[in-house]
Amino acid sequence: MASKIQSVKGTREFYPEQMALRNFIYKKVRAASRSFGYQEWDAPFIEPIDLYAAKSGEELVKKQSFTFTDRGGDFVTLRPELTPSLARMIAAKQGELTFPVRWWSFGPFWRYEQPQKGRSREFFQWNLDMLGVDSPEADAELIAVAATFLRSVGLNPQQVTIYVNNRRLMNSEFETLGIPKEKNLEVSNMVDRRTKMESAKWDAYVLESGLSQTQLDGLKSILGNFDLWKKSDELVRTFAALEALGVKEYIKFDPNIMRGLLYYTGTVFEAFDTSGSLRRAILGGGRYDNLLEDVGGQPLSAIGFAMGDVVIGIILQEKGLLPEFIPSPAPVFVTVFDKSLLQESFFLSAELRRAGLNVICYPEPAKLQKQFKFADKMKARIVLTVGPDEAANGQVAVKNLINGEQVTVKREAVRDAIRIFLPNDTSIEAAKGQVAINSEQVTVEREVDSSSEGWETP
């Protein structure tokens, strides 16, 4: 017997239930993005490593990227993040685009990290960016989109918080401590690591970097001042806008939030679960006003954030915020009574699909008890049967699996019977305005969003 081939370490296998979770997150991400007018886009999954070398940090490029030389001899990587690709694409058509640009994306990324709870080497990520506006109100809009998503999945302000800071404010405070401007990035990285280290070890780490005891004491005083935001006109305006946007209850100022990436220049923010077991950021981002110029474009203000699907998926599961898993996206199940009536069952299921309904038809004759058992496992809500008597009289037996009620109706009345049994079912509602059964006239065609297949809409 051949040995089983295991999946690559750190990658993920999406069985239907896991795929449904991914699609549920995508559906909510899409809704939050579109509600603020953002356009969906994407970039290549493989990029030249040089795209990240200048601005993403040495650790990301040398330790976390999946790099390889392709058959043409080019040194490339599976994309570890999206913002550099965004900057390149915007720069390429900078003279043709209408600003401000509002773009969002949800796709796969890869980082060679140590797999653990909340972290894998392969993950899906939501990216949302606004380019072409440099204002605190634009910063607030990005944060509001994030808060809107968190609210939409059922996370309240007692469970999650978006912590906000500003790099320009912090650089100004560093200056008051006599820290040279060229050390701002290094000190910012120190602050970013503070919550990840024991207090005494962090103090020693700061002193070893060259700061004096007086500067360390002053730095700790700054990091404990949660009214510091009042000194920043940018943050005062940002928080005022967040209040107007109706999401201020999700927001807190925290001078310890720095975001270590090289390209952040102004407002930065991170969202955390404050009531569960996972102490990882749900999402994070900030203003990056220099990146476009670094990839060959003209200077352009920008702000964005990213959210991986792993952490938010764990949080939603832990808090019981996922709707019931429905194995099949089809609420209607058509049985096959016997071999002679197989074509009749197939014809009925095809009629209903043309009417806009999702329908499973059993693929072969089998005992009806077995077929009903299968329908129950698939969580179908309606079972249709065409037996010899129904076929002879142009009828269909319609059974409601939710309450056991059963009726026999004329063939042309099947869809109406389904609606009566399932008046609030979204897949049934999707068929409204479609073609009527046995009718040659198409009335309305509607787009059906299937991005959340597998999860029942809460």
List pLDDT tens digits, range 329-383: 999 999 999 999 999 999 999 999 999 999 999 999 999 999 999 999 999 999 9
Output the average pLDDT for the chain.
Answer: 88
Instruction: Indicate whether 438 belongs to any domain.
Output: no
Which burial class, exposed, middle or buried, applies to 41 when counting CB atoms under 10 A from its CB (0-12, 13-18, 19+)?
middle
Q: Is the pLDDT of residue 10 over 80?
A: yes
Say if residue 298 is in the same domain as residue 339: no
Say if residue 190 is in the same domain as residue 271: yes
Say if residue 27 is in the same domain as residue 135: yes
pLDDT digits (tens, 9 = 90+) for 423-440: 766 555 544 444 333 333
Q: Given this model, what pLDDT does residue 440 score?
A: 32
Q: Given this model, what pLDDT does residue 238 score?
A: 98
Instruction: Indicate whether 454 belongs to any domain.
Output: no
Say if residue 20 is in the same domain as residue 123: yes
What do you get for the CA distance between the two ends of the chain, in Å?
46
The Cα 304–Cα 319 span in angstroms is: 27
The Cα 422–Cα 175 span in angstroms is: 66
Q: Given this model, what pLDDT does residue 264 score?
A: 86
Most confident of the ranges 67-71, 234-238, 442-446, 453-457? 234-238
Instruction: Indicate whether 349 belongs to any domain.
Output: yes
Instruction: Indicate whether 456 belongs to any domain.
Output: no
Instruction: Indicate whether 195 belongs to any domain.
Output: yes
Instruction: Please check whether residue 42 is in contact with residue 82, taking contact to mean a CB–CB distance below 8 angstroms.
Output: no
Q: Given this model, what pLDDT does residue 427 score?
A: 54
Which burial class, exposed, middle or buried, applies to 72 when counting CB atoms under 10 A from its CB (0-12, 13-18, 19+)?
exposed
Say if residue 309 is in the same domain as residue 281: yes
The length of the chain in residues reads 458
Q: What secondary structure letter does DSSP report for 104?
A: E
pLDDT digits (tens, 9 = 90+) for 31-90: 999 999 999 999 999 999 888 875 555 666 777 888 888 999 998 999 999 988 998 999
Say if residue 131 is in the same domain as residue 37: yes
Which residues span the domain enclosing 383? 332-429
- Token pair of 212, please? 């004096």
Tally of domains in the chain: 2
Say if residue 119 is in the same domain as residue 261: yes
The Cα 183–Cα 263 span in angstroms is: 15
Instruction: Indicate whether 386 belongs to any domain.
Output: yes
| pTM of the complete model | 0.86
The Cα 367–Cα 387 span in angstroms is: 12
Cis-peptide into 329, omega within 30 deg: no
Q: Given this model, what pLDDT does residue 257 score?
A: 94
- Token pair of 289, please? 């006003």
- CA-nearest of 257, 230, 260 to 164 is 257
Q: Is the pLDDT of residue 92 over 50?
A: yes
- CA-nearest of 435, 430, 444, 456 to 350 is 435
- CA-nearest of 71, 14, 18 to 322 is 18
Instruction: Indicate whether 7 belongs to any domain.
Output: no
The Cα 52–Cα 405 span in angstroms is: 62
- CA-nearest of 116, 126, 122 to 12 is 122
Say if residue 164 is in the same domain as residue 288: yes
The Cα 221–Cα 167 span in angstroms is: 17
Q: Is the dihedral of CA 95, 301, 125, 309 positive or negative?
A: negative
Domain boundary, last residue among 318, 345, 378: 318
Say if residue 234 is in the same domain as residue 361: no
CATH of the domain at 419: 3.40.50.800
Say if residue 227 is in the same domain as residue 309: yes
Instruction: Please check whether residue 415 is in contact with residue 433, taking contact to mean a CB–CB distance below 8 angstroms.
Output: no
How do beta strands 359-361 and 382-385 pair?
unpaired
Q: Is the dihedral of CA 228, 234, 236, 238 positive or negative?
A: negative
Say if residue 294 is in the same domain as residue 336: no
Identify the bridge partners of residue 106 per DSSP, sorted by sequence position: 126
Q: Given this model, what pLDDT does residue 8 score?
A: 87
